[in-house]
Amino acid sequence: MEPQAFFEKLKAYCAVPGPSGMEDAIRERILADIRPSGATYEVDPLGNLLVFKRGRERRPYKLVVAAHMDEVGFLVTAVTDEGLLCFDAVGGVDRRVVSGRRVQFCKDGRTGVVASKSIHIQTPDEFGKCEPIADMRIDIGETDREGAQALVHIGDCAVFRPNYAEFGEGLIKSKAIDDRFGCAVLTDLINSDLAYDTYFAFDTCEEIGCDGAKEVCHRLRPDVAVILESTTAGDVCDAPEGARACELRKGAVLSHMDGGTVYDKDLLAFALKTAEEEKIPCQLKNIVAGGNEARAYQTGGTGAHVLAISAPTRYLHSACCVAAKEDLLAVGRLTRAILERSLPLC
């Protein structure tokens, strides 16, 4: 993994709009990057991209490495007489990070601004409170219903406007780091020489219930699934040390358990040992919270042994997710090191 090329690719991936159910554009970008690899691939009816890359040896079991393509976003639900757009969230979006943000519509790149009641006209009961998303509007610069409906329709989707930037000491901020960084790691692996035959899954609709991963489990029926994800870093806002989950600049994150999965103990121990042997920075997630596609792989198909390798990320599901470049590279290095070995199975 060449760092500069990796982060240039990540920037490009993060810029592509792709909320749950609208992953076509990011899938086409990924396909363009992996076609020269010689790997075989198919796109299933749910839009998942399934890739098989032959290695130097065959594994005695089927292993898939997965990352989801979709990001959180917004769906237009109505148009007001004033030409403003009512909307709802696609995926888990904290309403506190929505007001005042610029959004970009998926179909044509049109910019909108999320409008909410100005502080100057709030009632005493409203002052200091974040209004529900249902009370916010997207302003696209039109003045009446007819003008807005000529440009945007009910069901159209938008995402936070692309804003990738590097700042501070080795940090990056962008919308959609969750999970475009995982997609970038997968494409690097596919384009490399692999020790063993490996399946890769670029999944859809993770943010609304992991529907894509459920279909992948049914089709591939893997024995082992390694999930690349972002996970919430708690090293902000005076969070107690015992409740920080994980921290930036401390490496890849491994979990014993989260809100949906109890992870395979043998695989976890193997990953920790591999990180130690390869001198790859690694940390354990220290709270039981959140969840990812591991649950779908563990319980779908015939069941699979699962391991999640996550990047600590501040401000998940916002316009400005923040991650440390060294942590993202550590996730890639650890994933590659694990794939180079014969994994233990219970």
* Residue 236 confidence (pLDDT) above 90: no
Fold of 73-160: Elongation Factor Tu (Ef-tu); domain 3 (2.40.30)
* Domain boundaries along the sequence of the chain: 3-71+175-339, 73-160
Give the burial class of 14: count Cβ atoms within 10 A of its Cβ; 0-12 exposed, 13-18 middle, 19 or more buried.
buried
Cis check: omega of the bond before 179, within 30 degrees of 0: yes
* Residue 183 confidence (pLDDT) above 70: yes
Nearest to 26 by CA among 7, 43, 12: 12
pLDDT tens profile 298-338? 998 888 999 999 999 999 999 999 999 999 999 999 999 99
**Average pLDDT of the residues in 242-263:** 88
* Residue 77 confidence (pLDDT) above 90: yes
User: Which CATH code for domain 3-71+175-339?
Assistant: 3.40.630.10
* DSSP string for 84-152: -EEEEEES---GGGTTT-EEEETTT--EEEEE---GGG--TTTTT-PPPGGG-EEE-S-SSHHHHHTT-
Residue 143: pLDDT band with limits 50, 70, 90: very high
Nearest to 72 by CA among 133, 10, 156, 159: 159
Share of the chain above pLDDT 90, in %: 83
What's the distance, Cα to Cα, between the start and end of the chain in Å? 31
**Average pLDDT of the residues in 173-189:** 97
Helix (H) or strand (E) holding 31: helix 24-34
- Would you call 206 a catalytic residue per the annotation? yes
Nearest to 200 by CA among 57, 316, 27: 27
What does DSSP say about strands 63-68 and 49-53: parallel, antiparallel, or unpaired? unpaired
Helix (H) or strand (E) holding 311: strand 305-314
Average pLDDT, the chain: 93
Q: What is the dihedral of CA 38, 40, 43, 47, to 10 degrees?
A: -60
The three-class DSSP label of residue 244 is coil
* Residue 80 confidence (pLDDT) above 60: yes
For residues 19 and 5, give the distance between their C-alpha atoms in angstroms, rounded to a whole number: 25
**Average pLDDT of the residues in 287-302:** 87
**Average pLDDT of the residues in 27-33:** 98
**Average pLDDT of the residues in 107-116:** 94
Q: What is the dihedral of CA 107, 80, 162, 172, to 10 degrees?
A: -150
* Residue 258 confidence (pLDDT) above 90: no
Structure letter (DSSP) for residue 47? -
What is the value of pTM for the model shown? 0.94
Per-residue pLDDT at 1: 65
Residue 234: pLDDT band with limits 50, 70, 90: confident
Give the burial class of 286: count Cβ atoms within 10 A of its Cβ; 0-12 exposed, 13-18 middle, 19 or more buried.
middle
* Residue 346 confidence (pLDDT) above 60: no
* Residue 243 confidence (pLDDT) above 80: no
**Average pLDDT of the residues in 164-193:** 97
- More confident: 259 or 202: 202
For residues 284 and 275, give the distance between their C-alpha atoms in angstroms, rounded to a whole number: 12
Per-residue pLDDT at 276: 97
CB atoms within 10 A of CB 266: 14
Q: Any idea how long the chain is?
A: 346
**Average pLDDT of the residues in 174-186:** 97
Q: What is the dihedral of CA 220, 204, 28, 336, to 10 degrees?
A: -60
Which of 91-105, 166-180, 226-240, 263-277 comes out lowest in average pLDDT?
Answer: 226-240
Burial letters for 32-62: b for 16+ Cβ neighbours within 10 Å, e otherwise?
A: ebbeeeebebeebebbbbbbbbeeeeebeeb
Nearest to 253 by CA among 233, 232, 230, 283: 283
Cβ 294 vs Cβ 68: under 8 Å: no
Catalytic residue among 23, 142, 206, 207: 206
